[in-house]
Amino acid sequence: MTTLPPSSNAAENTAGKQRGRPFEPGKSGNPNGRPKGARNRTTVLAEGLLDGEAEAITRKLIDKALEGDNAALRLCLERLLPPKRGRTVSFELPDKIETAADAVHASSLVLQACAAGDLSPDEALEIMNLISSHIRLVETNEIEARLTLLETQQKGLQA
C-alpha cells in the first residue's frame, strides 16, 4: 500500500486552477438569450419524420384503440378529452354568512347537497373550505372592530 504525500490532497491540487464564477453577476455568456421563435433541434427533427405521416399514425392509433389496446385507448382519451377541471355548481346557501351560526347552517346545506348527490365529496370539501375561510375573515374583521373600539375608549380615559 502506498501513501500519498500530504500535498496530494485533491482539493489542494485544484485550488489554484478553479475559475470561480466565469461571468460577472448579471451578465451571462449570451446576454441576448435564445432568439424568439428558435425551436429545439430534436423537435424539428421529430416533426420532419412525422411530416406527411401524422394522419396515418393517428388512424393506426385509433384502430388499435378500437381493437382493445388499453395504452392506445388511454392515449386517445387523453388527447380527445380535456383535463377535468372544477365545474360550476348551483345550490341553496344563505344570502349572508356573517356569524358562526350562519356558517353552521351553510355547512349543513352543503352536507345535505352532498348526501343528495348534487355535489361530489370533493366539491363539498372545496365549498366547506370557502365557508371556513370566509367566516375566519368575518371573525378577523369583528376582532379588529372591537380592538379599535377598545383603543378609542382607552384614549378617552387617558385624556
pLDDT in tens, 11-69: 555 556 656 666 777 777 777 777 888 888 898 888 888 888 888 888 999 999 999 99
Count of other CB atoms within 10 angstroms of residue 72: 17
Q: What is the rounded distance in angstroms from the CA atom of residue 113 to the CA atom of residue 105? A: 13
pTM value is: 0.47
pLDDT for the residue 46: 85
pLDDT for the residue 12: 59
Shortest CA distance to 141 belongs to which of 133, 20, 55?
133
Residues sharing a CB contact under 8 Å with residue 142, sequence separation 6 or more, in sequence order: none
